[in-house]
Structure 1
Amino acid sequence: MQRGLFINGEEKPAKETYTLYHPHTEEKLADIAESSKDNMAEAISSADKAFKDMKALTSKQRADILFKAADRLTERQEEAAEIISKEASKPIKAARGEVNRTVQTLQFSGEEAKRLNGEYLSLDAAEGGAGRDAFTMNEPLGVIGAITPFNFPLNLTTHKVGPAVAAGNTVVIKPAEQTPLSSLFLADIFTEAGLPKGAIAVIPGDGPTLGEVMNQDERVKKISFTGSPEVGKLIKSQAGLKRVTLELGSNAAMYVDNSCVDDLDNIVQKAVTGAFAYNGQVCLSTQRIYVHEDLFDSFKQAFVEKTKNVTFGDPSEESTVVSSLINKKSQQRVLDWIKEAKANGADVLTGGESAGNGVLPTVLTNVGRDEKISCNEVFGPVVLINKVKDAQDAIDNMNDSRYGLNAGVFSNNLRQAMKMGHELEVGQVLINDVPTLRFDHMPYGGVKDSGYGREGVKYAIDEMTELKMISINYEG
């Protein structure tokens, strides 16, 4: 199979290609377009020309396109799940879950397309403002550049495309090199739903090469990027006066208080799911767990027992929970970090070994704050469980991080839970939930090295529009 680039409403072949392999089975999936700088420039030009048509659509027309895209994706959901599972080595159940979330993201986008309302301003509140009315409106920016990651290749791309379309923008997608098929599939879905020709483009290929073109082209009005902090900082430095949203890394932490003794088994199960969902290759993956000393031994024992029941296998198998990592380089990095932590005194309670092209679900304890496995983003099926003496000790440990995306707090003490909600240095605090939680309409973004700006459909639309005010002097 050979797949090209999607420009001006159709897929076109490229002069150069690269081979896409299944991360688990290593079978060849397709020859993918290795797009050039000229291809990216052509896509931006096409999207810029299509912006006039997009801006002219009514709110209802944009909403109808998004709702039709949601319906079409629902009809083709198993096809979409199989694409995700193969190119990203995502267990098929998790892939189906991603498709379902994508349908919701499209539906939320359609709903928000009808809610782009401004407000009335009383200009006579200012001296000299009598006899004037004013109102605001949200206008689309133009071409949105979307640079997307491999781990949620359909839904995270839709989190950029859906709000862009809802607001009346056009969008050019640069998908992760390992997962271009999902973006090409999404372009097909939107085309079938009636999106104007040229309003969406997919340009696969080398990130630094194509991203530089996006950053430098003045017709691109905003860059929305999900990926590593290092690349995010580079994009921000290159983007100039463009708007930028950066969804970056995390090493999400959670705390379990001693007031949760009666619900411990349920919390453990949630934490195991949060730690190992999609091989830990989730920005919100539960990576650091801090447990009150009164519950530590019980929590640790139950967590290890449940982890041993997590199935490693082929992503196409219904029973598989953890599979191969996205590439062998990631596998080796995770194993090296585990080995380094162990050499420095950490205890490996289960796992810590390779399997296929992945890593078995791994639980560590007694991990020092300075270990890579603690202070960096593992992006693999690894979690640490450390003992703390109280909530303040947990806050100190949880905040001792360059990242700040999500945090989870389990406590039946309302005052304590709210104190942690205020003091934790993250974008979202989930009380009585694991940090590996996101609903597609909630605000989502981080502080520190976890990012800049917010996603979540309504909030992404705000960042993809320009606020304009119009006033009327009715007294002359």
Structure 2
Amino acid sequence: MPALATKLNDSLTVSSDSEQNSNNTILINGDWIGAKQTMSIINSFDNSIISEVSCANNDHVDQAIQSARQAFKRNQYQPSHQRADILKGAAQKVLARLEEFAQTIALETGKSIVAARKEVTRCANTLNLSAEEATRLTGETVKFDSFTGGENRIGFYEHMPLGVIVAITPFNDPLNLAAHKLGPALAAGNSVILKPSQQAPLSAIKLVEVLIESGLPAGQVNVLTGYARDFAEQLVSSKDVAMVTYTGGEASGEIIAKNAGIKKLAMELGANSPVIVMNDSNIDKAVESCVSGSYWAVGQNCIGVQRIYIEQGIYQQFKAKFIEQTAQLKVGDQLIDGNDIGPMINETEAKRIENWVNSAVNKGANLLVGGKRDGACYYPTALDNVAQSENLICQEAFGPVVSLFPFSDLDETIELANNVEFSIHGAVFTANINTAMKVSRELDVAGVMVNDSSDYRLDAMPFGGAKRGSMGREGVKFAIKEMTHTKVFCMNLDA
């Protein structure tokens, strides 16, 4: 690669800010380049440096947008079978390198190696689903003669790609959530500028490398690593960007929405998931599911269990079993098989959770299990008697902490469960179909899991928020529809 510039096509030149170095993590038109500024990616368990990545700036933004525009013009009519082949090939390569991907995920996020391996298999599934939907993206005929004046007209509509899509992904599922944006966007024929999480960009970079190895045309995906604060405003506000798809926190989402201007937005902004456990439920199944749902991925899970409402008749039994199972979870090095809980993304987040728990306890909550921090590791924690005004209840905890509440009135409990601004999933455990239907109808969420944890997700199902977080849907088939527009063809046969 030349030291200062690489010629792209006849009209686009990409220049780096300095001589190329080994931290070439900015991708523009098929070339990985570096930048003057770099940042370290840290293993939060021992604070060791995993890698250095380049920090993009506004010049890189302009180059990436121009590259993406040109790639879209070249490839928007690429046959769907070719798009599908690229995505299927990438899925196969991801599975062939499963352990490599899993190690990367675990190192950069703190997620246990077991959970990381599951994420890799889900990523492959997401890519395969995207490949399938690429060849299923069809429109329908329109009955123009269904209204007076439409006689002798025939026609149809089809789904067309939007153009350049900016995809901004979080750290907690750095591989599969990147796949959930890249897969559908590419299946529909769009080009993408990917901004992976600044804390955990390495898995997403590997995914893009695999897509390129599988035949992805140059410029179809461009990657900007580094600090969003340095270039995100220029990126999302560009009139050449047709859509911004973002997964992350409310504060950043609000900034993106203000800067984006008139364009399509899809956002998943987190949640505070409630679970209701009835007297007639299978208590062992409910406890097992809730423990897993509370602490999977160190609790850094937007649909993880955060509040559990247990009917009074089984509350003491449920609580005892929940404490017992939680106490058995092993905390430590995320790369060691057998450890259930690794570190949080960084020590700052662990200290935040520690402060939230201490605040609740100081105001009368009972610490049932956990409540211990060791560096970035926060031990799986459960409390009861937590005040409704505490952050652990009214905000998204995004950590390995859950609060238990006994209840006797289901209607009041549903009202409490709904008393949050952002929601995605809820859950109910019951043997009564009428209760299941009542709770499913009345919980103000976008998905209800019956006799399952709120954190269950199939990558094919529609996924997104309710209430203030209701801004589009993921789930491959549904994301593809978000990333296209309909185009109508109508022929007047009398002409």
What is the CA–CA distance in structure 1 between the aligned matches of 2:412 and 2:315, rounded to whole Å? 14
Amino acid at match of 2:448: V
Partner residue of 1:155?
A: 176
Partner residue of 2:304?
A: 285
Pairwise CA distance, 1:53: 2.5
- Contact conserved, 1:255 with 1:289, CA < 8 A, in 2? yes
User: What CA deviation, in whole Å up to 9, does each residue of 1:143-165 have, x standing for no partner?
Assistant: 11001100000000110000000
What is the CA–CA distance in structure 2 between the aligned matches of 1:238 and 1:440, rounded to whole Å? 30
Partner residue of 1:333?
A: 352
SS at match of 1:156: helix
User: What CA deviation, in whole Å up to 9, does each residue of 1:74-122 have, x standing for no partner?
Assistant: 1111111111111111111111000000000000000000111101111
Pairwise CA distance, 1:3: 4.0
Name the TM-score, length of structure 2 as normaliser: 0.94
SS at match of 2:242: strand
SS at match of 1:128: coil
Across the aligned residues of Structure 1 and Structure 2, the Cα RMSD in angstroms comes to 1.0
Pairwise CA distance, 1:448: 2.2
Partner residue of 1:462?
A: 481
- Contact conserved, 2:274 with 2:305, CA < 8 A, in 1? yes
User: What CA deviation, in whole Å up to 9, does each residue of 1:148-204 have, x standing for no partner?
Assistant: 100000000110000000000011111111111112111101100101111011111
Residues 1:175 and 2:196 aligned together:
yes
Partner residue of 2:243?
A: 222
Partner residue of 1:33?
A: 54
SS at match of 2:50: strand
Q: Which of residues 200, 204, 211 in structure 2 aligns to 1:190?
A: 211
- Contact conserved, 1:172 with 1:203, CA < 8 A, in 2? yes
User: What CA deviation, in whole Å up to 9, does each residue of 1:326-381 have, x standing for no partner?
Assistant: 11110111000001101111100011110231211101001111111111111111
Partner residue of 1:66?
A: 87
Pairwise CA distance, 1:280: 0.2
What is the CA–CA distance in structure 2 between the aligned matches of 1:443 and 1:428, rounded to whole Å? 9
SS at match of 2:178: helix
> Percent sequence identity over matched residues?
39
User: What CA deviation, in whole Å up to 9, does each residue of 1:45-86 have, x standing for no partner?
Assistant: 111100022212111111111111111111111111111111
Partner residue of 2:44?
A: 23
Partner residue of 1:352?
A: 371
The 5-angstrom pairing of residues 72-151 of structure 1 reads 72-151=93-172
Amino acid at match of 2:294: A
Pairwise CA distance, 1:428: 0.7
Pairwise CA distance, 1:2: 3.0
Partner residue of 2:382?
A: 363
- Contact conserved, 1:174 with 1:210, CA < 8 A, in 2? no
Q: Which of residues 259, 263, 267 in structure 1 aligns to 2:280?
A: 259
Pairwise CA distance, 1:208: 2.6
SS at match of 1:2: coil
What is the CA–CA distance in structure 2 between the aligned matches of 1:118 and 1:63, rounded to whole Å? 18
SS at match of 1:438: coil
What stretches of structure 2 of length at least 5 have no aligned partner?
1-21
Amino acid at match of 2:87: L
- Contact conserved, 1:8 with 1:199, CA < 8 A, in 2? yes
Partner residue of 2:10?
A: none
Partner residue of 1:57?
A: 78
Amino acid at match of 2:97: R
What is the CA–CA distance in structure 2 between the aligned matches of 1:142 and 1:209, rounded to whole Å? 24
Partner residue of 1:211?
A: 232
What is the CA–CA distance in structure 2 between the aligned matches of 1:230 and 1:21, rounded to whole Å? 24
- Contact conserved, 1:229 with 1:451, CA < 8 A, in 2? no
Q: Which of residues 9, 26, 43 in structure 2 aligns to 1:5?
A: 26
Q: Which of residues 342, 358, 364 in structure 2 aligns to 1:323?
A: 342
Partner residue of 2:466?
A: 447
Moved over 2 A (4+): 1-4, 448-451
Amino acid at match of 2:438: K
Pairwise CA distance, 1:450: 3.1
Q: How many residues align?
A: 474
- Contact conserved, 2:348 with 2:376, CA < 8 A, in 1? no
What is the CA–CA distance in structure 2 between the aligned matches of 1:229 and 1:110, rounded to whole Å? 31
Partner residue of 2:416?
A: 397
Q: Which of residues 376, 379, 383 in structure 1 aligns to 2:398?
A: 379
What is the CA–CA distance in structure 2 between the aligned matches of 1:356 and 1:234, rounded to whole Å? 31
What is the CA–CA distance in structure 2 between the aligned matches of 1:447 and 1:115, rounded to whole Å? 28
What is the CA–CA distance in structure 1 between the aligned matches of 2:378 and 2:184, rounded to whole Å? 36
What stretches of structure 1 of length at least 5 have no aligned partner?
none
Moved more, 185-194 or 53-62: 53-62
Amino acid at match of 1:112: E
What is the CA–CA distance in structure 2 between the aligned matches of 1:10 and 1:24, rounded to whole Å? 33
What is the CA–CA distance in structure 2 between the aligned matches of 1:294 and 1:169, rounded to whole Å? 54
SS at match of 1:436: coil
Amino acid at match of 1:455: E
Partner residue of 1:241?
A: 262
- Contact conserved, 2:347 with 2:375, CA < 8 A, in 1? no
